[in-house]
Each structure stands twice: as C-alpha cells, then as structure tokens.
Amino acid sequence: MKKKILALVLIVALVASLAVALVACDNTDKDNNTVVSFKPIAKENIKFGLIALHDENSTYDKNFIDAANNAAKKLGVQISIKRNIPEDNACYEAAVDLVNEGCNIIFADSFGHEDYVLKAAQEFPNVRFAHATGTKAHTELLPNFYNAFASIYEGRYLAGVAAGMKLKEMYPDATSLKMGYVGAFPYAEVVSGYTSFYLGAKSVMNEGVTLTMDVKYTGSWYDPVAEKSTAEALIKGGAQLISQHADSMGAPTACAEYSQKNGVLIPNVTYNISTKEDIVVDGVTYKSTYLIGSKVNWEPYFEYLINCVINGVTAVGFDYVGTLATDSVQVLEFGNDVSDAIKNAVAAAQEELLNGTRKVFDLSTFTKADGSTITSYIADVDTDEKFEGDTQVVLNGVFLESVYRSAPYFDIRIAGITELK
Amino acid sequence: MIKAKSDRVPLFHISKRDNVPKWQAWLIRGGAVVAALLVSAVISAILTDGASMGLFFKNLFLGVFGTPRRILNLFQNTAILLCIALAVTPAFKMKFWNIGAEGQVLMGGLACVVCIKYFGGKMPNELLLVVMAAFSIAFSIVWAVIPAIFKAKWRTNETLFTLMMNYVAMQIVACCIFVWVPSGSGVLGVLKYGHMPQLGGQNYVINIIVVAVLVVLMFIYFRFSKHGYELSVVGESENTAKYIGINVKKVIIRTMVLSGALCGVAGLLLVAGTDHSLATTTVGGRGFTAILVAWLGQFSPFLMSFTSMLYVFIDQGASEVASVFNMGGSFPDIITGIFFFLVIGCEFFINYKIKFRSFKKKNEISTPDAEGEDTAVGLDKNSEEVTA
C-alpha cells in the first residue's frame, strides 16, 4: 500500500514538474521569430558568449579566450565563457544557455561545433552566432550565422622564411636540408598550413640546395604525449627543424629535450604560443630552441563583431577572413639568438605579401608530388555529403586560398613534402 | 605494565546488523548526501582559494534551477540516465552482471543513424521514427543477447563478455563514422532527418514522457508479472529456480532481451530525441553510471528516479560551479566521485555497526547518524560478530 501511494505521489510530482517546466519556458524568441533586423544595443546590455572546446591548458583555446577577454574589456562589454564544451549536443545546450544568460553574440571555436551552433542560430534569430574554421555560413545563408578564419597561411609562410634562413645559417655547406612537421589530422586546414610553411622556407634556399619536409599526423588536436613522440620520430628521421600544427607543448618539449641531451640544436617553430620566455617544465627550458611562431589573433574579429552589435548592423559577409593587414595574422616574436639577416628576410617577405607583389600559393613556385605543374584545381568549397570539389580556385597562376570561404581548402600534396604513415 | 594476552581486546570490532528500521536507514543515507555536499563545498572553497562556501551552493542550485531551460535539462538528462538504469535492472536483479549497457545503447544509436542515413528523406518522418525504433531495439537486443546465450549455454563469464562488447561497439561506431565522414574533423554533425517532434514547443519532452511511462511499466513488470517473479528467483538461487521448474536458460536469455530492448529505447532517445548525431562518446559513461544509480535505488524503478535525478543534479550543478570558478573539466567528476563515495560508503553503516573497545566503562560508539536506537540494535541476539 505504502509503495502504491509513493508511486502515485511520484507520478504526480513528475507530471507537475513537467507542466511547470513547460509553462515556465518563455517564448519571447518564438514571438520575435519574424524580426531579423538588428537594432543598436547599448554597451552595458551587450554580452559576448564564447564556447571553447578545452580550457586554457590548450594553446588553441587559450588564444580565443585571451582574445575574447581583451576585446570585451577594450569595448566595455560583458563576457561569459563556457569551457570544455565537446562537439555534440552539449554545444547546442551551451549556446542556448548563453542566450538565456543574455548573450547577444555567441562564438564557438571548434570545427565540430558548427552544426550545433547553426541549430541554435535557427532557433534564436535575434542573436548573432559566429564560428571559427566552419564552412557552412555561405551555403546556409542565415542572417545571424557567420564563419570566420584568418589567412594564417601568410603567417606560416613568414615563419617558414625564418626557418629556411635559420637552417641556412646552421648548415651553410649542406646541399640537402630537411624539416619535420607534426600535424593533427590530414585535413585541408593542416595541409594548407604545412605547405605554406614549406614554401616560405623554400623561397630563401640557395640554388643547388634541396629542401624536403616530412609530415606526420597524431590524429588528435591535443595530445601532448603523441605530439612529443611524433616530433621525436621526425628528428630521428633526419629532420633538422620542427614545426607543428597541434595544440599542446609536446613538439616544443621534444625539440628542447633532444637539444639538451645531444647537444644538437633542433629549432622549433611554434603555433599560437611563444616559448621565448624562460619557462621551465620538468627541467626542460624552451628558450634556446624557440625560433619563431605564428598565430591567429582573434581580437580584431571579436571587436568587429561587438561593434556590429553596438551599431545594430549585420556582420558583413558570411565569411570573414582576417589577414596580415587587419592584424588577424601575426608573426610571433623572434627567439633569443636570431640574427638580423633572418629578421630582415622576414620583414622583406612580409612587405611583399602586404603590397601584393608576392603570393604564398604562387603556382610557379611548386609542383604536384609527381612533378606536374598545376594549372587548374576544383576545390571542395561547399560542404556536401560526398566531399566532392565544386569551385575553380586557380586564377592567373595563383591558388586563391581563403577567398571563396574563410576556412582553408588547399589540399594539394606538393613535391618536396612527404606524408609519413 | 604488560597486559596478559588474554586481556587484549581489538581497538574496535564490526558487527552485522540486520534489523535497522527503515526510517533510520534513510536518515543515514540522507546524512551521507548532506555530508557529500558539505565536503564538496569545502573542497571547492579550497580549490578556489577560499571563495565562500555559500557561492558553491548558490551556483550548484543556479546550475540546475537557474533558468527554465536548465530545469528542462535536469529532467531530460535524468530521463536518459534513468532509461539506461531501467535497462540494466532486470539483469542485475537476476544477478547477471551486465556491464555492457554502454555498448548496447551505442549500438541502438548506431542503428538509428544507419536508418537516417539510408532511409532519411525517402519516407515520412513519423514512419522513419518507427523504423528507427525497431532497428535500434533490434541492434541493442542482439548486442545484449550474445553474452546471454554464451552464459546460458556455456557458462561464460558475463561480466568480462559484456564489458568487452562495449569496446567492440565503440570501434564499430568509430569505423562507421570514418566511412561516413572521410574528411573534415571526423564529427558526424547534426543529421537532418529522424528528429523526435517537439511537444509544446519544447525539445526533449517526448523523452521525458517515454521514460516516465517505462518507469511505471517496469514497476508493474517486476512487481506483478510472472516474468518478474521468475527472474528474482533465478537471482536468489538458480537451484531453487530449477527445483520449482523454472527454465533458467530461458529466463536468462529472455531477461537480456528485455535489457537490450530498453537499451535500444535509450539509444533511440539519444539520437532522435537529443543529439541528432552519434560519436563514440555519445553515451558518455552513462552505461556505467546507470549501474550505480540502479543499485543505489535498490532496483526499484521509483527510487531509481530519485537517485538518477540526484546524480544529474550534482553533475549539472557541479558543472556550473566549475564554469563560474573556472576550475576545469574534471571538477564535476571530483564532486560526483565524492558523492558516490559517501553515499555508497554509508551503506556500510546501515549493514554493520562498529564497536570500539571500552576504555573506561561502556564507551560504545557506533554510527554517528543513528543515535540512541543502535545500542539496542547492536545487542541483538541474532547479530553475527566479526572482529576486525
């Protein structure tokens, strides 16, 4: 009898709470469904929401978190950050929670977040949603959903120039030089990055010197152990310099440890983080191996987004590509023992990239892996089920990277670079 | 002074107690929950360099009840966890240690995605949902029944077998996702078809209703059906079951079919109701958490509703605390760990009492929560004495 009563009470409680939950949910967003025009909002009512895949321990996420904090502080708006949000329904829930907190702009930082942010964008047309590295804004055409990225290939190209110069200084008599590159996944974003890095280094090679590069993937964006062991394997394979496109301190640690143990300097070109400062972790110092690095500076884009909210305008274009000119792409500080020759070479190349006389993906500077020249290329710009190419991206002998959408789509394997299994 | 050996009494000894009044047992459990919250508050205060404990409680409750949406999420997360807990219960009542719910649910989810991939857009959504339900339940049943058949026929160890099947399921899912998404980040993304309709303009409501109905049905099944009786007999003693003419093999397989079917429902709710996608982490350890939840709820569907909600409450609240104080992704795990440790630990004090050596007179100390009554309980004639 007791149990029956208990059961009854529980059912009633469950139904009642359900009813409360249903009634309590406000429908203001539903009512305003048709209103899509944005109105100016006072600064004190603006809140910037950031959804991050990891927390500050990941150099990738730290870059976004720092930029968002700086932008919000500079423009005097509030900020709310959701860290450690995986690429599943939790991302959609995090976005909705940020809307309920009163955020007017919500930005997610990882590729896999896109679908879930898109879902939230459809549900809340009065809130702007932006997403890094995504590909769908220019095909979905929602007025409140945007993709953004930066022409980071320019930054990597300049870091590559420094790397090439450094190798030349270290091995003046060598006829062949080799670099190693730790990649996360074999996707266009990584391929575009390592190719531009290689082309930068190749551009400063003397005649008669062949430069090659080995690329090895870790299969993860953040795996300190795998990144370290992959870098070590590349060094064993003859790499004289290491760069990486993965988010932990694994590769820098491998270079520093190897250099300390064996007395052979293996310079490291970083991504998103400078290790020039005297950081000591478990007895390893990075300052002697750090050469240069590049990063995407998200602050200009975040400020642009917040200003759009302040002024009540839609963000211009579905894809935003930050460049060297907008300060969205930055070359990090030089390391401790970098000669003026290297600094001058980087500055000269930067000048040429800025004034347009030099293009990173100039098709006269490289060939396909089989030695054939590239005259046209159909890239997979619009996301579809079959992952097939759809857009001609070669014009006047240049591969137009990040022109048809913000996320990179250069995925040609070129001569001189070997992807190791 | 050296005491004679015969005088030496152990510092304390533990004695079993059988007849703790129900209200007292619940008092101890309630005390454990309160203690768990207090310990968590202290730990969070230490981790945040002495931010006041009041903020811990404030954010714990705000995280769960702060917005209507969060309340809805409390119910929706409870529903999924409870559904999986209901699924493992029949097997556990039968003392068939099915720790493969994680994989069984995942296979159900995979079946749903397969249906969406191949039938999506080719049939009306309602029909698609029915097909998804059928496939999901079928896949999960297969995944649950394979270890059951091996157990019934060849007496293999079901614990290892079901555990192993989890990893096989995860690899199959990883493999399928790789085939479906050859490039990109290896994330399936939101699937267009096979979404559970909204009720009252709200997501997840159907999930909650389905699980509420399942709770009642399972209660009836255990309490009033012949099947429910048979599986408890098999659990108590296989020989007794044989003696009274129960076909033990049949009961084992039949019960695992039921277990699998419920896992299939959980898989359907996860894919069609909430995620609209699939990853190896979709179940997210809930296949294992559900076992604890079911056990704490003493395999009673209604008590399990409470325990699963309590778990989700702690988890969701702790996530908000972690988010506000920026304490990293592991903080909610620490808090739920403390919670489980104390709540499960308190069962010891319900089943046993500790008697310390009397130093002066009769300084008997027993469980801190149950005062007064326990002296009488401890002196019970039937209590078996165990020395520690």
- The answer to whether residue A17 scores a pLDDT higher than 70 is no
Of B184, B208, B276, the CB nearest to A18: B208
Q: Which residue has the higher pLDDT, A342 or A386?
A: A342
Residue of A nearest to B211 (CA): A14
| Rounded distance between C-alpha atoms, residue B236 and residue B233, angstroms | 5
Q: Which residue has the higher pLDDT, A312 or B143?
A: B143
Structural domain range at position B153: 69-314
CB contact under 8 A, B212 and A11: yes
Of A14, A21, A185, the CB nearest to B68: A21
Of A7, A15, A84, the CB nearest to B302: A7
Residues of B in contact with A380 (CB under 8 A): 183
Is-contact B56 B41, C-beta < 8 A? yes
CB-neighbour burial class of residue A194 (10 A; exposed 0-12, middle 13-18, buried 19+): buried
Structure confidence at residue B185 (pLDDT): 66
The 10s digit of each residue's pLDDT in A391-409 is 899 998 999 999 889 889 9
CB contact under 8 A, A22 and B183: no
CB contact under 8 A, B200 and A96: no
Q: Percent of chain A scored above 90 by pLDDT?
A: 63
> Measured between alpha carbons, how far is residue A232 from residues A235, A256, A275, A285, B377 in Å?
5, 11, 18, 17, 66
CB contact under 8 A, B68 and A26: yes
Q: Going from the N-terminus, what domains does chain A have, and what CATH number goes with each?
A: 24-151+297-322 (3.40.50.2300), 152-294+331-356 (3.40.50.2300)
Number of A–B residue contacts, CB under 8 Å: 99
Tokens, residue A104? 């007017």
Structure confidence at residue A4 (pLDDT): 59
CB contact under 8 A, B216 and A7: yes
CB-neighbour burial class of residue A370 (10 A; exposed 0-12, middle 13-18, buried 19+): exposed
Structure confidence at residue B199 (pLDDT): 84
CB contact under 8 A, A87 and B201: no
Over residues A134-156, the mean pLDDT reads 91
Angle, helices B68-93 vs B286-296, to 10°: value is 70
- Number of domain units in chain B: 1
CATH code (residue B93): 1.10.3470.10
Average pLDDT, chain A: 87
| Rounded distance between C-alpha atoms, residue B178 and residue B319, angstroms | 31
Q: For chain B, which residues lie within 8 Å of any Cβ of chain A, measuring from their own Cβ? A: 67-73, 75, 182-187, 189-190, 200-202, 205, 208-209, 212, 216, 219, 274-277, 279, 281-282, 302, 305, 323, 326, 328-329
CB contact under 8 A, B275 and A14: no
Residues of A in contact with B189 (CB under 8 A): 112, 114-115
Over residues A307-318, the mean pLDDT reads 82
Residues of A in contact with B305 (CB under 8 A): 10, 14
Nearest CA-CA distance, residue B280 and chain A, Å = 11
Which among B227, B230, B273, B308 has a CA at the least distance from the CA of B105? Answer: B273
Residues of A in contact with B67 (CB under 8 A): 97, 100
Does residue B54 sit within a domain? no
Residue A391 CA from chain centroid, whole number: 23
Of B184, B201, B305, the CB nearest to A10: B305
Is-contact A420 A382, C-beta < 8 A? no
Residue of B nearest to A84 (CA): B329
Does residue B160 sit within a domain? yes
CB contact under 8 A, B70 and A97: yes
Residues of B in contact with A55 (CB under 8 A): 326, 328-329
Does residue B75 sit within a domain? yes
Of A30, A97, A118, the CB nearest to B201: A30
| Mean pLDDT per 10-residue interval, chain B, length 388 residues | 61 82 88 92 84 85 93 95 96 93 97 94 93 97 95 92 96 92 76 88 90 96 94 92 92 95 97 92 93 92 95 92 83 90 88 76 48 41 42
Residues of A in contact with B82 (CB under 8 A): none
Of A21, A27, A185, the CB nearest to B75: A21
Does residue B199 sit within a domain? yes
Does residue B341 sit within a domain? no
Interface confidence (ipTM) of the complex: 0.79
CB contact under 8 A, B183 and A119: no
- The answer to whether residue A6 scores a pLDDT higher than 80 is no
Is-contact A138 A319, C-beta < 8 A? yes
Structure confidence at residue B354 (pLDDT): 81
Q: What is the pTM of this model?
A: 0.81
Is-contact B12 B386, C-beta < 8 A? no
Over residues A120-145, the mean pLDDT reads 91
Does residue B150 sit within a domain? yes
Residue of A nearest to B277 (CA): A88
Residues of B in contact with A188 (CB under 8 A): 183
CB contact under 8 A, A83 and B279: no
Does residue B116 sit within a domain? yes
Structure confidence at residue A55 (pLDDT): 86
| Rounded distance between C-alpha atoms, residue A304 and residue B367, angstroms | 63
- The answer to whether residue A38 scores a pLDDT higher than 90 is no
Of B67, B276, B281, the CB nearest to A100: B67
| Rounded distance between C-alpha atoms, residue B144 and residue B108, angstroms | 11
Q: How confident is the model at residue A385 (pLDDT cuts 50, 70, 90)?
A: low
Which residues partner with A280 through β-bridges?
A: A285
Element (H, E) at B321: helix B301-325
Which among A254, A242, A262 has a CA at the least distance from the CA of A286? Answer: A254
CB contact under 8 A, B216 and A11: yes
DSSP for A253-307 reads: HHHHHHHHHHS----EEEES----S--EETTEE-TTTEEEEEEE--HHHHHHHHH
Does residue B104 sit within a domain? yes
Tokens, residue B264? 């299939």
Residue of B nearest to A3 (CA): B302
> Measured between alpha carbons, how far is residue B128 from residues A414, B20, B209 in Å?
46, 52, 20
Nearest CA-CA distance, residue B73 and chain A, Å = 9
Over residues A115-140, the mean pLDDT reads 91
Nearest CA-CA distance, residue A293 and chain B, Å = 24
**HSE on the CB side for B16, CA within 13 Å?**
7
Of B186, B205, B282, the CB nearest to A88: B282
Of A7, A21, A93, the CB nearest to B219: A7
CB contact under 8 A, A22 and B202: yes
| Rounded distance between C-alpha atoms, residue B310 and residue B325, angstroms | 22
Residue of A nearest to B328 (CA): A55
Q: Categorise residue A310: left if φ over 0, alpha if ψ from -120 to 50, beta otherwise.
A: alpha
CB contact under 8 A, A7 and B68: no
Residues of A in contact with B71 (CB under 8 A): 17, 20-21, 24
CB contact under 8 A, B328 and A10: no
Structure confidence at residue A239 (pLDDT): 96
Residues of B in contact with A14 (CB under 8 A): 208, 212, 305
Of B69, B200, B279, the CB nearest to A96: B69
Nearest CA-CA distance, residue B68 and chain A, Å = 5
